[in-house]
């Protein structure tokens, strides 16, 4: 079963472009990881500082390896410079619609 993740992040006021720049540097490394099917950044409409990251992974093991990847540990430390607080990470699954 594949794993879908939605990560909600808020940057400090006026620092949204730092998030965009950091993601542009990180995304190629993440997309090259084994099991990565999607890794995309989207700005929340109506805000300069709100973003979501949409992720799709082949397995829970691939997601766990991603979380422990050296470039992710480095990014987590660097993000503190411009993020307003910790990211909110949601693991999601499809809902039955009738």
Are the beta carbons of 40 and 54 closer than 8 angstroms? yes
| Per-residue pLDDT tens digits of the chain, which is 98 residues long | 899 999 999 999 999 999 999 999 999 999 999 999 999 999 999 999 999 999 999 999 999 999 999 999 999 999 999 999 999 999 998 776 76
Task: Say how far apart CA 50 and CA 57 lie, in whole Å.
Answer: 23
Cα 52 to Cα 23, 88, 89, 97: the distances in Å are 11, 9, 10, 24
**For residue 62, what pLDDT is reported?**
97
Task: Say how far apart CA 28 and CA 22 lie, in whole Å.
Answer: 11
């Amino acid at each position: 079963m594949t794993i879908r993740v939605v990560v909600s992040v808020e940057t400090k006021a006026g620092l949204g472009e730092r998030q965009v720049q950091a993601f542009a540097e990180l995304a190629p490394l993440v997309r090259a990881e084994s099991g990565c099917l999607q890794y995309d950044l989207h700005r929340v409409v109506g805000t300069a500082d709100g973003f979501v990251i949409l992720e799709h992974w082949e397995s829970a093991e691939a997601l766990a390896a991603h979380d422990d990847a050296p470039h992710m540990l480095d990014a987590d430390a660097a993000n503190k410079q411009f993020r307003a607080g910790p990211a909110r990470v949601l693991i999601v699954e499809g809902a039955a619609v009738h």
